[in-house]
């Protein structure tokens, strides 16, 4: 007999059999969570279920972003000599570093948080203990069917949706007025554009990265996206869905993606709030969600407005300065809540009191892990972790802050994304761990989007002409 030839059909059948066997291993209670068999199953399932892209394909995806053209965003008006937005070259470089720190901080927090998402604090401790370094690609990962939906080191739907927001901002903000407030017509255009892109992401994901659809979105967002008339009238549909749920859904699905709404017009809080509220209300109508998003975006804008000394970096007034910014964001955001004392008091309690410690936030409480105020509280806790000088034990590095936060379990990727963004926006990209960035499989694609933001905000360094005369030999 001649040697048998393996066909494509045979390979597909073998792969399907391996997937079934690995899924059975993951679900088996007779196989220890700590066993090498389960880790091997996770590795193979990620290889078989998640498409990856070759280096040339990744470069082509980056080039596609770079080739996109949009109308330039408005830039800060010419400042007065004593204004906090004095826009010299040093300040431009500082703002650019913070913008990059914001976006990468979000993506890194999201990627690390996947390792402990939906686990209790005890489950995190029992599985990871003190010997596993939590990072985008930890040595081992909790073996279940949730974590196999992403390749090692990847961010989740949280960062995906933030990038969808960015793409809408790229497309729309350049048409907004520099001086006057943004019109309702312009805001409606932004909402419809975002709704269209979000629905396309749900159906297809980012095809250039190998996605076959958006993975991991929350139930609130999914209900709104699948409702009739969403693209045409997104905020109306979101309001209806919220009311049908008896006005109880104050989920964090809008907050997780909102950091970048603090970038356009960051020198004008009124416009920041208009854009942020519109993006939020496209899927989340609850005033608590709107207030959470406005608070986050306001903090981003305030951090970009101030110079280092004005936000207390490396000064004895460090903590006091950050508390003043938090208070200002609270004052601005509370206007989006009902006037009732109970509504105002709960918001203030989460922002000012419960966010002081992770224990008070109880992030792994199964009845409220997705509550928008808890997520905002975790983010503000992360911002407070930047206070003190870099030699002060109370000042956490980025990796220390993220590891401490995700060890709490709960909606860890979302909490760490918000906290990571605020930490990065204050301390800047240069203080983020480069070894973590190297573990992101799509870091170059993310950088292409960052470069687009910096270009649209006129934050790229000026090209210096070579004035040296050529030497004649």
Distance from C-alpha of 99 to C-alpha of 263, rounded to nearest angstrom: 8
Predicted confidence at residue 303, as pLDDT, reads 96
| Residues 233-244, mean pLDDT to the nearest whole number | 97
Predicted confidence at residue 312, as pLDDT, reads 57
Q: If you search the block for the tokens 């970048």, which residue do you land on?
A: 260
Q: If you search the block for the tokens 């045979």, which residue do you land on?
A: 10
In the chain, the percentage of residues whose pLDDT exceeds 70 is 90
Residues 385-412 have pLDDT tens digits of 998 655 555 689 999 999 999 999 999 9
Predicted confidence at residue 301, as pLDDT, reads 98
Predicted confidence at residue 79, as pLDDT, reads 58
Ligand-binding annotation for 411, yes or no, is yes
User: Residue 188: which pLDDT band, with cuts at 50, 70 and 90?
Assistant: very high
Residue 79, CA distances (Å) to 83, 186, 311 in order: 6, 27, 19
| Statement: residue 8 has pLDDT above 70 | no
In the chain, the percentage of residues whose pLDDT exceeds 90 is 81
Ligand-binding annotation for 458, yes or no, is no
Contact partners, residue 80, CB within 8 Å, separation at least 6 = none
Ligand-binding annotation for 156, yes or no, is yes
Residues 316-342 have pLDDT tens digits of 567 888 999 999 999 999 999 999 999
Ligand-binding annotation for 10, yes or no, is no
The CATH number of the structural domain formed by 15-23+35-457 is 1.10.4080.10
Predicted confidence at residue 383, as pLDDT, reads 96
Residues 131-144 have pLDDT tens digits of 789 999 999 999 99
Predicted confidence at residue 318, as pLDDT, reads 79
Predicted confidence at residue 14, as pLDDT, reads 79
Query: Residue 45 burial by CB count (10 A; 0-12/13-18/19+): exposed, middle or buried?
Result: buried
Decide if 290 contacts 277 (C-beta within 8 A): yes
| Residues 179-187, mean pLDDT to the nearest whole number | 93
| Residues 281-306, mean pLDDT to the nearest whole number | 97
Per domain, the residue ranges of the chain are: 15-23+35-457
| Statement: residue 443 has pLDDT above 60 | yes
Ligand-binding annotation for 414, yes or no, is yes
Distance from C-alpha of 83 to C-alpha of 85, rounded to nearest angstrom: 5
| Statement: residue 84 has pLDDT above 60 | no
Residue of 328, 178, 336 whose CA lies nearest to 254: 336
Decide if 99 contacts 453 (C-beta within 8 A): yes
pTM of the model: 0.92
| Statement: residue 446 has pLDDT above 50 | yes
**Mean pLDDT of the chain, nearest integer:** 91
| Statement: residue 468 has pLDDT above 80 | no
User: Residue 77: which pLDDT band, with cuts at 50, 70 and 90?
Assistant: confident
Contact partners, residue 407, CB within 8 Å, separation at least 6 = 116, 121, 124, 125, 128, 134
Query: Residue 211 burial by CB count (10 A; 0-12/13-18/19+): exposed, middle or buried?
Result: middle
Predicted confidence at residue 2, as pLDDT, reads 46
Choice among 44-53, 258-267, 403-412, 442-451 with the minimum mean pLDDT: 44-53
């Amino acid at each position: 007999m001649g040697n048998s030839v393996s066909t494509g059909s045979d390979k597909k059948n073998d792969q399907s059999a391996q997937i079934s066997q690995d899924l059975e291993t993951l679900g088996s209670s007779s196989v220890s969570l700590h066993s090498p068999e389960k880790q091997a199953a996770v590795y193979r399932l990620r290889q078989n279920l998640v498409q990856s892209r070759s280096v040339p394909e990744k470069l082509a995806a980056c080039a596609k972003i770079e080739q996109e053209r949009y109308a330039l965003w408005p830039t800060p008006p010419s400042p007065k000599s004593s204004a906090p937005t004095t826009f010299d070259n040093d300040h431009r470089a500082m703002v650019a570093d913070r913008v990059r720190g914001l976006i990468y901080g979000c993506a890194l927090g999201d990627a690390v948080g996947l390792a402990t998402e939906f686990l209790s604090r005890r489950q995190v401790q029992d599985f990871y203990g003190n010997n596993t370094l939590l990072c985008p690609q930890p040595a081992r990962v909790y073996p279940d069917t949730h974590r196999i939906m992403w390749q090692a080191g990847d961010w989740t739907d949280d960062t995906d949706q933030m990038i969808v927001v960015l793409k809408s901002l790229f497309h729309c903000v350049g048409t907004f007025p520099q001086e006057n407030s943004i019109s309702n017509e312009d805001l409606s255009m932004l909402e419809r554009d975002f709704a269209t892109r979000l629905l396309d992401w749900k159906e297809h994901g980012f095809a250039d990265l190998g996605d076959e659809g958006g993975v991991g979105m929350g139930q609130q967002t999914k209900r709104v996206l699948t409702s009739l008339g969403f693209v045409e009238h997104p905020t109306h549909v979101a309001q209806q869905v919220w009311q049908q749920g008896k006005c109880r859904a104050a989920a964090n699905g809008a907050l997780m993606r909102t950091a970048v709404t603090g970038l356009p017009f960051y020198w004008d809080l009124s416009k920041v709030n208009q854009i942020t509220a519109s993006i939020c209300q496209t899927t989340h109508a609850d005033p608590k969600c709107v207030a959470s998003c406005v608070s986050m975006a306001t903090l981003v804008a305030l951090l970009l407005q101030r110079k280092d000394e004005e936000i207390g970096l490396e000064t004895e007034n460090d903590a006091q300065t950050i508390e003043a910014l938090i208070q200002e964001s609270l004052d601005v955001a509370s206007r989006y809540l009902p006037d009732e004392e109970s509504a105002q008091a709960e918001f203030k309690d989460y922002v000012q009191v419960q966010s002081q410690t992770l224990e008070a936030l109880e992030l792994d409480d199964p009845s409220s892990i997705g509550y928008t105020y808890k997520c905002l509280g975790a983010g503000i806790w992360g911002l407070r972790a930047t206070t003190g000088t870099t030699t002060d034990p109370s000042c956490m590095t980025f990796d220390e802050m993220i590891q401490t936060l995700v060890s709490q379990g709960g909606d860890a990727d979302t909490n760490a994304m918000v906290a990571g963004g605020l930490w990065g926006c204050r301390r800047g990209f240069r203080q983020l761990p480069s070894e973590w960035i190297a573990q992101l499989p799509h870091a170059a694609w993310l950088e292409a989007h960052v470069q687009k933001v910096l270009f649209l905000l006129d934050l790229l360094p000026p090209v210096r002409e070579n004035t040296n005369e050529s030497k004649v030999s």
